[in-house]
Structure formats: C-alpha cells, structure tokens
Amino acid sequence: MDTSALDLRGWEEKFPSGKRSKPYSTTEKYPGEALGQRRSPLGTTGASFNLPLEPSERIFLLTRERKRSRSIPRTMPIARPAGRIPDAAWTSGLREMTEPWKGALGCLGVAVFFAMTIGIISWQALEQSSEEWVLRGRAGGVLWERRRGALLLRALPEGQPVAVIAVGGVPAAEPPPPRDRCWQDGGQFCYAWEEAAELRLSLEPPPAPGTECYSVRWTPLRPDVMLKDCFSMANISWYGGASIRAQRWPFNSADSPAQPFVSGDFGKNPTGYGPVLERYFLGSTGVTVTVAPDVPFVLSLESNRHFCLGGAGGPLHYLLCISSDVATAHRHVGTQLVGPARVLPDTALLGSPIWQYYGPVGSAAKIKRGLRSLTRRLKRHRLQEGVLALGEHSTATLAAAEYVSMEQRRRRSLAHAWDPALIDPLRLSITLSPYTSIASPLFLRSLRDNEAGYWLSLQPRFGGCLVPLLTTWKGRLCARLNVTSEAALSWYLARARALRQALGASYVVFEGAEGNAFLEQAVSPPAELAGDRYAGALAAALATLGNATVISAGARSSHLPLFVQMSPRRSDWSHAGLKGLIPSVLHYSLLGYNFFIPDAVGGSLAGDAPGDQELYVRWLQIVTFLPVMAFSTPPWLCCDTWVLNLTRQCIQRHRDLVVPLILKYSEEWLRLGYPIFRPAWWLSPTDPTAFTIEDEFLIGDEVLVAPITEKGQTWRDIYLPGEGHQWMDINTARVFDGGTVLRNYSASLEEVPVFVKTS
C-alpha cells in the first residue's frame, strides 16, 4: 500500500506536529460502542501513552476515523460553539434561585446605581467650573458664581475679578440658567427666582471710551422679600458713599449697622451717616457703583468684609462700571455725578480766616461788647483780617434786637442798633437754620395765620388740619421748614435776605440741612422727601441767595456755588478727631465738595476745648493747606507765644501758596470735575501701596502734604506717588524720586513735610 497516496490533511489538522496533543487513553469511548466497553487498539488495555506513531499506525487510525464519521447521524451537530450558554439555562437558573439570592442581587444593582450617581456629581463639582457667564461685553462681563450665590464682575481679556457681589434675599444655591427671558437680546440677561425676586442685567451706554457699564435691577416679587447685595472688600479698597464720624480712607475698616442712606447729624446719631454723602462708591480695581437717584436704600458697613446695599422694601437699582484703573474710573464716572454745570462759590473767603465768636451771648448788648473786644484782640496780635462768625443763638439774639417795632425803636436810643463798623476791617458771618422752636412767636404766629403748611407736617387720615411734625434741634422741641412748599421757601429766603442786610453780614451759614425728620420719627416720608432729598432741595433754594452762602450738608449739590461746613470733631488724636481730618478732606473732595470749611483748629465738638498744644499745632499745620482756616479758640488762649507766631506764618503761607493753587485747580474742576484735593493713588493708580494712604493728600498734581498725625512723633514714613516724577521738599530743597517711600522722615513740631513736583 502506497502511503504517500493517502490524504493526510485531516490528520495534520488534528496533529500538526506529527505527535499526539494529549495522552491517548484506552478508556476513551467512541460513538456506537457499548457503554463500559474498553478497547486498546494496540493491545495494551488500560494503558496510556504519548509516543510517536509509525506510518502504518497513522494509516490505521485515519481509516478508522473516517468509518466512524459515516456512522454518526446527520441530524446531530458535530460541535457546539464554545463560550455560549443557552437562554434556557438563564431562565431556569433564575426560577431555581432562592428569594435571599434575588434580594442580594437587587441590592447590588441599587448600590451600583448610587455609586454611579455620586461619581457623576463629584465629577461635575470637581471638574466643571462653578462660574457661568450671564452677560458679556467688550471690556468685561458679569458671571454667576454657583457655590456662593454671587455675581462676579470680571475685566477682559485677563479675566481678573474686579468686584464680587454676594446676593441676598433670594435662594443663593439656585443658579440662573442661560438667558430664559431676554435671550433674543444679547445685551440683557433676565432671570426670576420663583416667588422671590427678579434680576435684570443690561449693558448701558458708556460714559467715556474705555469704560463699560452694566445696569443691575432687582425687583422683589413679594412684599416680605428684602433685597441685599454685598460688595466684597477682599483685595479691593472702597471709597465714597457716606461720611462717618470716625472717617477712614478707604472705608474698609469702618463699621456701621444697616440704616437708611440719608445725611445725618452726628450730634443726634453718632453711629449714623454724616452730612455729606453721594450714591457713588469707587473701588481700587477700577469699578464704580452708582445707585439710582430715585431708589431709597439702606447701607451697612462690615469692617474688612463687605459693604451692603439693601432695598428699603422696594426695588434695588444701581449701575456697575469698569475702567482700566481707579483714577480713570473716577474721571469717567465720578465726575459726572451732577452733570457739567458747576459754579464756584465766593473765592474771597478762601484767604480769610474765620474766627468764631466765643464771648457772652446773654443779650444783644453783651454780644456787641464781646465782638468789639475780640476785634481789638485780633488787631493787637496782627490778625485783624478775616471773618467773625456768630452762632445761631447769637444771630437770633441780634435779630430780635433789630426786629423791634418802629414805635419801640423811636422811644429807644439808636446807639443800641447794630453797626458793622464796630468790627471793621473784619467781616461778619451769621448763622440760621430751618428749625424754629414751637414756643417762638414766629411759630405761633404761623399757626394763627393758617400757615401750618410752612412746616413739615403729617397728613391727616380722615381730613382736618395739618399736624406739624415735631423734632428736636439743639435740645429744643422744634418744627422744620417745609422745603416742598414754594410759599414757605419764599418766606424763609426773604427773611434771610432781610436779616443779612440788617446786620450787614457778608456770609450766611445754614445749619441743620442734614437728616430726614420723617425717618427720625419712624414715619414714611412723602415721595418728594424720600431718602436724602431734603438736603438737596434746601441747597438748591439757598443757592439763590448768592455764592456767599455756607450750608452744613451736601447731597446732590456739589455743583452749586455753596461752601460746605464740616462737622465738629473731637479735640483728640483719634479718627473722630485729628486723625480723621485728612480722610474727611479726601472724602469731601472725591464727591465733588471741594469748597468746604474744616472744623476749627483743635476741634470744636461740644464739651471739648483744645488743651493739648501739640495737637493744636499739628491741626493748624493741616488746615493751612485746606480751602479755609477756621478758629474757635484763638492761639493766645491755649498756647505759648511761639504758637501765636506760627499761626501768623501759617495764615500767610495759606494766602501766598495754597489759595493760588486752589484757584488754579478750581478751573480744572469747572471744566472736568476733577477733585482739587486728591489721594496718592491719583498719580499712582495701579500701586497697591497708594490705595491705603490716609495721612497724605495732593493739591492738584503738584503739591504733596504729609503732616504728622501721631502724638509725640517727629518723624514719619512718606509715600511719594508718581513713578517717573521727582519731588522736592520745600523745607530742605532735597529732591526724591516718585514711586518710593521715605522711611523715618524727620519733621519737627514747628514744620510740616511739603513736597513740590519738579518733573
């Protein structure tokens, strides 16, 4: 038999190497054989081997394999695909599974589901940003920060945050979705918290190139929703807003409870807001916040954390603007608070020191004798130029003597009449207020003549007569002038003109313009007197008297030709005394009130008298570089002779150096609205060191004043702003580079460090 003719392909597929792939067992069964039958093809029963096959063996086994395959039925599958389990096996397995096993399998599925859910949430919290753009402009944009529930104002393209506004009064954890109501307008974003409040953001026309503004308007949807937006103080210094008793610059370290944003009297409410305020806040990152003029709101200050604007039971609307730096922001936004129509007051007062009358006030005759005595003393000390200022009580006493009926005056000697020549060459200043005592003949006569509408009154609910709203003023129960009545204003202004003419006064000071009498009595004011509108309305009326008028408050009136009288300060070294004087100067000037009269040298708060000669001198040195020098205690009453000589020198320096500078930069204020007294960051708007300098100030861009405000010190650190500029000390003629700090710079008690920019 020729073995080479055999087809061995099937065999090679089973045994490619020519050897068996597994031991051949004699117990192996084949189809068709009886069960239990044993067969040993080579005669070795029960033995196993794994030896190479001879060719004859290979032929024998191949022949037998082919015969066996013919005997297998054709309907039986030869092989089943490996790795596949019939469906019936699963079904039968589940039916046979016991109940505990079924419960375990269900719990495993639930656990897997929760694990996947937690994983997805964790991934979103860790990987996805919590900030979402809601409105985007060219220079910046507003984002919603989900984790804190805050609005973020970012500058582009750097993406630097310039303001963080924590939102109160709404569910902070609920993030606004993409534009749902204003999506068709790319310049707006609208969202409503269900049954809480509605937010509307919109891009507004810019006030100048390089500045971008966003309107933020909140509307409560329920009466009990109190809106509140808090501006973070982290990494940002804030200026502007309201004056406070212990003034700070910036006001980050100040504290004040939430209260209506209304000018007030520190004598009535020491923790309230002061007489000068504007709805304008400036941040060191170049952001401004301007509250709409027709929206009453409350303001709270929380030291080094945030300041908050709150809706007074109604909507809250303000304008956010972003600029490249703090100085640019104020030039573009802050100078436009009252528009371009600005008018100067009487600049003749700038070079005239004010001497407050401190003599007896019991009668008109005593006042006249006291004025003559003060005039003689001033002449004796070569201080005879300036203004003698009468307080309200002395003015009322002289006015009562002048307004004697003609019949009575005929019976009396004209020697008792007031003659302005008694104080020549000094001029006279008188003081009035919009208050009148309810026991005065003036008030009683107005009631008798049915002129109750001349005073602020409560409206009767069911008809009847007006009831004057009573308040206190200087310890007396008084009524207050109704500035919404044209008849009342005409009567009041005519009376002021007549009194000024009768007494020959050059200047008239109006005290008591600040405050809201309705809010003091917890009564809702009429719409025309809401918020701080009383002070604004009174200032507008007093401006008609001329530019020789002084008012005690400022609100929306910085453009008027009026001097503003600063509040009395304590006679000490604290921020309520000397240390708060420069911050107050910067605050007034930033808000546009450049023509102010500072408190008297040494402090004039009731009950305080200058007893510290060093304090008096350091106070005098600061006032020398302000618009007007005022004195309540003459230097010969409190200090040594050298202080009197220093006072004459300071008055002369004020006339020769400071007044010309103020006049020069007042022209710039008229044209551009820039402050005359400027902070250090005006020349270094990106230097963080300059943001917190509160004991230096600039007059324009060319004179830096750095006085001593710490008791017992004869040296201080001085920051010279303006990198690239040079400054010369006018006392020593030494020159220093700008953008540097002079450490432990010497300044004796007789001198104040003053630097002039030379380049």
* Count of other CB atoms within 10 angstroms of residue 2: 5
Q: Give the CA diameter of the chain.
A: 176
pLDDT of residue 72: 44
In this prediction, residues 492-498 reach a mean pLDDT of 95
Q: Is the pLDDT of residue 202 over 70?
A: yes
pLDDT band at 49 (very low <50, low <70, confident <90, very high): very low
Number of residues written out for the chain:
759
pLDDT band at 656 (very low <50, low <70, confident <90, very high): very high
Across the chain, what does the average pLDDT equal?
84
Answer yes or no: are the C-beta atoms of 480 and 517 closer than 8 Å: yes
- 455 conformational bin, left if phi > 0, alpha if psi -120 to 50, beta if neither: beta
Least confident window among 107-116, 117-126, 492-501, 503-512: 117-126
Q: Are strands 140-145 and 131-136 parallel, antiparallel or unpaired?
A: antiparallel
In this prediction, residues 466-473 reach a mean pLDDT of 90
Least confident window among 222-226, 261-265, 285-289, 389-393: 222-226
Tens of pLDDT along 338-356?
A: 777 899 999 999 999 999 9
Tens of pLDDT along 11-30?
A: 344 444 444 444 434 334 43
Tens of pLDDT along 217-261?
A: 999 988 888 899 999 999 999 999 999 999 999 999 999 999 999
Greater confidence (136 vs 6) lies with 136
- Environment class of 279 (CB within 10 Å of its CB; exposed 0-12, middle 13-18, buried 19+): buried
Answer yes or no: are the C-beta atoms of 183 and 278 closer than 8 Å: no
Greater confidence (19 vs 544) lies with 544
pLDDT of residue 174: 57
pLDDT of residue 42: 35
In this prediction, residues 253-274 reach a mean pLDDT of 93
Least confident window among 34-38, 53-57, 268-272, 545-549: 34-38
- Asked whether the bond before 175 is cis by omega within 30 degrees of 0, the reply is no
Tens of pLDDT along 601-648?
A: 999 886 666 678 999 999 999 999 999 999 999 999 989 999 999 999
393 CB contacts (<8 Å, ≥6 apart)?
Answer: 361
pLDDT of residue 8: 39
Greater confidence (284 vs 33) lies with 284
pLDDT band at 79 (very low <50, low <70, confident <90, very high): very low
Tens of pLDDT along 400-447?
A: 887 653 345 555 544 456 788 889 899 999 999 999 999 998 898 888
Q: In this structure, what are the phi and psi dihedrals at residue 177, rounded to the nearest 5 degrees?
A: -80, 180
pLDDT band at 669 (very low <50, low <70, confident <90, very high): very high
Least confident window among 88-102, 317-331, 502-516, 572-586: 88-102
Q: Is the pLDDT of residue 674 over 80?
A: yes
pLDDT of residue 558: 94
Greater confidence (407 vs 292) lies with 292
Tell me the three state secondary structure of residue 284: coil
pLDDT band at 51 (very low <50, low <70, confident <90, very high): very low
Q: Is the pLDDT of residue 671 over 60?
A: yes
Nearest-angstrom CA–CA distance, 586 and 629: 17
pLDDT of residue 112: 74
Q: Is the pLDDT of residue 92 over 90?
A: no
Q: Is the pLDDT of residue 591 over 80?
A: yes
Buried b / exposed e over 500-513, threshold 16 CB at 10 Å, is bebbebbbbbbbbb
* Count of other CB atoms within 10 angstroms of residue 698: 25
Least confident window among 126-135, 193-202, 241-250, 493-502: 126-135
pLDDT band at 267 (very low <50, low <70, confident <90, very high): confident
pLDDT of residue 543: 96
Least confident window among 67-81, 353-367, 481-495: 67-81
% of the chain exceeding 90 in pLDDT: 60
pLDDT of residue 147: 80
Q: Is the pLDDT of residue 173 over 70?
A: no
% of the chain exceeding 70 in pLDDT: 80
User: What number of CA atoms fall less than 13 Å from residue 266's CA on the CB side?
Assistant: 19
Least confident window among 145-149, 392-396, 454-458: 145-149
pLDDT of residue 77: 39
Nearest-angstrom CA–CA distance, 264 and 239: 19
- The angle subtended at Cα 602 by Cα 596 and Cα 606, nearest 5°, is 85
Answer yes or no: are the C-beta atoms of 600 and 633 closer than 8 Å: yes
In this prediction, residues 481-485 reach a mean pLDDT of 95
In this prediction, residues 263-289 reach a mean pLDDT of 94
User: What number of CA atoms fall less than 13 Å from residue 542's CA on the CB side?
Assistant: 32
How far CA 658 is from CA of 80, 139, 350, 488, in Å, comes to 110, 40, 9, 40
Q: Is the pLDDT of residue 584 over 70?
A: yes
Nearest-angstrom CA–CA distance, 564 and 596: 4
The edge-to-edge listing of strands for the beta sheet with 277-283 is 188-193, 197-204, 212-220, 316-322, 287-291, 277-283, 238-242
365 CB contacts (<8 Å, ≥6 apart)?
Answer: 416
In this prediction, residues 561-565 reach a mean pLDDT of 97
Nearest-angstrom CA–CA distance, 707 and 696: 7
- Environment class of 101 (CB within 10 Å of its CB; exposed 0-12, middle 13-18, buried 19+): exposed
Nearest-angstrom CA–CA distance, 12 and 481: 123
Residue 405 corresponds to which tokens in the numbers above? Answer: 């009926």
In this prediction, residues 3-15 reach a mean pLDDT of 41
Residue 161 corresponds to which tokens in the numbers above? Answer: 């945050």
Is residue 537 within a helix (H) or strand (E), and if so which, with residue range? Answer: helix 533-542
Tens of pLDDT along 34-43?
A: 333 444 333 4
pLDDT of residue 47: 39
Nearest-angstrom CA–CA distance, 612 and 607: 15
